[in-house]
Amino acid sequence: MKKLLAVTALFFALANVANAENTAETTAVTNTHANPICLVEGIPSTDQFRTIKRIKIAKGTYGSVVELYPKFAASARKLGADAVVNYNGSQRFGFWPWRIVRPVVWGTAVKWNTAIDCKTLDGKEIY
């Protein structure tokens, strides 16, 4: 009985440590306000940018699409992109569709040939 109690306590302690590490990582990503990433829902003319790669970020459980923006922006920055075209963010069914709906964001990371103004493209900036 004592072993079971000790293992349970150890499990909860390690779970809290892992959660604290994830929170610190999310805070570090959020505070890096380096350069904003412009999200554009449509696809502008193709001579204005160079396509890098299609990206997709999802959360495993319930939540808002807005919670994924810092990770999405960090992923785009890591590829050297300054914008994401053909952006879409919505709630999708997970593995157990009758129980779990999760947020998913995706789009195509691009590098603009010239300086852009996100508002003129009807886009929104995320950090």
Residue 13: per-residue pLDDT: 54
Same domain, 60 and 78: yes
pLDDT per position as a tens digit, 40-83: 999 887 788 999 999 999 998 888 999 999 999 999 999 999 99
Mean pLDDT in residue range 3-17: 56
Predicted confidence (pLDDT) at residue 15 exceeds the cutoff of 70: no
Residues 39 and 21 in one domain: no
CATH of the domain at 78: 3.30.110.70
68 and 112 fall within a common domain: yes
- Please name the amino acid found at residue 51: T
Torsion of CA 74, 72, 67, 11, to 10 degrees: -70
CB neighbour list of residue 84: distance below 8 Å, 6 or more residues apart: 37, 38, 39, 40, 55, 72, 76, 107, 108, 109, 110
